[in-house]
Amino acid sequence: GDSVTQMEGPVTLSEEAFLTINCTYTATGYPSLFWYVQYPGEGLQLLLKATKADDKGSNKGFEATYRKETTSFHLEKGSVQVSDSAVYFCALRGVGGTSYGKLTFGQGTILTVHP
Amino acid sequence: DGGITQSPKYLFRKEGQNVTLSCEQNLNHDAMYWYRQDPGQGLRLIYYSQIVNDFQKGDIAEGYSVSREKKESFPLTVTSAQKNPTAFYLCASSIASGSNQPQHFGDGTRLSIL
């Protein structure tokens, strides 16, 4: 079945540092890929998405590129802020068989940014 | 404003008791979902519904039940058969389960055992 693997956290950075959170996936066909962010005590908010190979999703300074050849969708930001501290989830939306339309999540990566 | 409303924000359950979590959306979405979130395990799908009066089990449906009598409502009942119900429960909706549109989430309900 479909699966998503994220780099283990927690990740701790200083303000203005470069951020990368790795995400790789296993799925049939060409799934849609998403990054969600969860702030403490809240639900998940969509951060960005990509629906086909080589698409780049971007939002609020975050970027991720859909790499079919490496089955990856790594999240990057050039300069993080304290307000970026949250849990980040990589997810895919399957297109094959019984996984059609279902969202599969990675385990989440906790990011803490210090001033 | 359109969105998903979950209530209550915090809920406590006694041994042997069934409790119901509410989820309402005014986004006119066809599909709705319930997830359970445990620390370090990401989100796991409990039940989902693609259309009114229809729903399917997700990966961890045992001990839970749902109904979908109205398009905007998808309540989740945590039954006494669920032996480890303490978790953060998230409801989500999307335009259609088969599309590449994202799911939109509520703010969650935190369930604890008394």
Q: Taking residues B5-28, what's their average pLDDT?
A: 94
Whether the predicted pLDDT of B109 surpasses 80: yes
Whether the predicted pLDDT of B100 surpasses 80: no
What is the structure's pLDDT at A30? 85
Hey, is the C-beta of A106 within 8 angstroms of any chain B C-beta? yes
What is the structure's pLDDT at A8? 82
Nearest to B42 among A32, A45, A106 (CB): A106
What is the structure's pLDDT at A101? 67
Whether the predicted pLDDT of B99 surpasses 70: no
Bridge-based pairing state of the strands A109-114 and A11-14? parallel
Q: Taking residues A55-69, what's their average pLDDT?
A: 96
Cβ of B42 within 8 Å of Cβ of A44? The answer is no
| pLDDT tens digits for range B41-63 | 789 999 999 999 999 999 999 99
| pLDDT tens digits for range A10-53 | 999 999 999 999 999 998 888 999 999 999 888 999 999 999 99
Bridge-based pairing state of the strands A86-93 and A103-105? antiparallel
Cβ of A102 within 8 Å of Cβ of B97? The answer is yes
Cα–Cα distance, B25 to B69 (Å, whole number): 13
> What is the average pLDDT value for chain B, to the nearest integer?
92
Q: Is B62 exposed, middle or buried (0-12, 13-18, 19+ CB in 10 A)?
A: exposed
Whether the predicted pLDDT of B16 surpasses 90: no
Report the percentage of chain A scoring pLDDT > 70: 95
What is the structure's pLDDT at B98? 65
Cβ of B98 within 8 Å of Cβ of A100? The answer is yes
Q: Which pLDDT band, with edges at 50, 70 and 90, does B97 fall under?
A: low
| pLDDT tens digits for range A88-97 | 999 998 776 6
What is the structure's pLDDT at A2? 87
Q: Which of B5, B34, B43, B105 to mutate to test the interface with A (most CBs of A within 10 A)?
A: B43
Q: Taking residues A1-9, what's their average pLDDT?
A: 88
> What is the C-alpha radius of gyration for chain A, rounded to an integer number of angstroms?
14
Hey, is the C-beta of B95 within 8 angstroms of any chain A C-beta? no
Whether the predicted pLDDT of A7 surpasses 60: yes
Bridge-based pairing state of the strands A75-77 and A86-93? unpaired
Cα–Cα distance, A109 to A83 (Å, whole number): 16
